[in-house]
Amino acid sequence: MIRSKLLMTAYIGKGYMVEEKVISIEYHNQIGVLSLNRPEKAHAYDKKHLLELKACISALSKSTVVVVRSVGHRAFCSGADLSGMDKPTPLSALFLLSQQVFTSLNQAPFVSIAAVHGPAVAGGCELALACDLRVVGPKSWFELPETKIGLIPAAGGCNRLVQLIGLSRAKALILGGDVLNAEQALHCGLANRIAEDPFQEALQWAQSIQNRSGLALQQAKKVLNSPSLHLERWTEGVLYAAKSSNNKN
């Protein structure tokens, strides 16, 4: 396992202290692992952490598959730590950082697998939704409680939840306050697999995906994210050309 050098250095007194970032990158047998490490706050994120996440997603752009996980078993992510976020305004909502970062993950060239231990709540649920695949632990659960405080899941949650589980079920969560446990999430399509150790299961799945064509995975993801018969034909042509070029070489 190779630890990323995404570290920050702060000057303390007469020396230097190297502090590990809350969002970090590791590699397990060439599989990128993006880790959230703020267990004292149930892995809640603030503006600084979102910017760290954005930088990590960019740094992983050459990867074929990436596992997104939190350190420990208490929670996957409890969403935004409002004490560390800018004061919201009507204008700032038009440039919502969490939506931008989660969209960059959703549209990244690699396949992303969320390994979900424990609750994924509010923005934490939206982070899991932004991933391509989700492996969840048996005690995991998903909740989008934003309407309780006069907001909506605006980091992509409304749109991606409908795409994954359908409009009626999405309304039950967002409007009706339903909470999905692991079995319910699997049944309705929010989760792809349940495992006692979702991180290890996600790594094994990632290793299998790693053996597939990276270019084909990238192109298939683009088509799946923006379904179009024309785009399917165009993409297949791109892949035919790539295979022909490889055969000539």
The tens digit of pLDDT for each residue in 43-85 reads 988 889 999 999 999 999 999 999 999 998 889 999 888 775 6
Per-residue confidence (pLDDT) for residue 18, from 0 to 100: 36
Per-residue confidence (pLDDT) for residue 58, from 0 to 100: 95
Confidence of residue 91 (pLDDT cuts 50, 70, 90): low
Helix (H) or strand (E) holding 86: none
Cα R_g (the chain), whole angstroms: 19
Decide if pLDDT at 170 tops 70.
yes
- Mean pLDDT over 184-211 rounds to 97
Instruction: Report how far Cα 67 is from the mean position of its chain's Cα atoms.
Output: 8
- Mean pLDDT over 98-103 rounds to 94
Per-residue confidence (pLDDT) for residue 2, from 0 to 100: 41
Cα 74 to Cα 127, 141, 244, distances in angstroms: 17, 12, 50
Name the residue ranges covered by the structural domains of the chain: 2-212, 213-249
- Mean pLDDT over 102-116 rounds to 97
Give the residue from 140, 133, 132 showing the smallest Cα distance to 185.
140
Instruction: Report how far Cα 249 is from the mean position of its chain's Cα atoms.
Output: 37
Question: Mean pLDDT across the chain, nearest whole number?
Answer: 87
Decide if pLDDT at 98 tops 70.
yes
- Beta-carbon contacts of 224 under 8 Å, excluding residues fewer than 6 positions away, are none
Decide if pLDDT at 228 tops 90.
no
Decide if pLDDT at 141 tops 70.
yes
Per-residue confidence (pLDDT) for residue 248, from 0 to 100: 67
Per-residue confidence (pLDDT) for residue 84, from 0 to 100: 59
| CA angle (107, 77, 84) in 5-degree steps | 95
The DSSP annotation for 182-229 comes to HHHHHHHTS-SEE-SSHHHHHHHHHHHHHTS-HHHHHHHHHHHHS--H
Q: Which CATH class is domain 2-212?
A: alpha beta
217 close to 235: Cβ distance less than 8 angstroms: no
Decide if pLDDT at 164 tops 70.
yes
What residues form DSSP beta bridges with 148?
none
Confidence of residue 159 (pLDDT cuts 50, 70, 90): very high
Q: Which two tokens stand for residue 44?
A: 């809640």
Single pTM value for the model? 0.87
Per-residue confidence (pLDDT) for residue 21, from 0 to 100: 77
| Helices and strands per DSSP (H, E), number in the chain | 9, 12
Per-residue confidence (pLDDT) for residue 240, from 0 to 100: 87
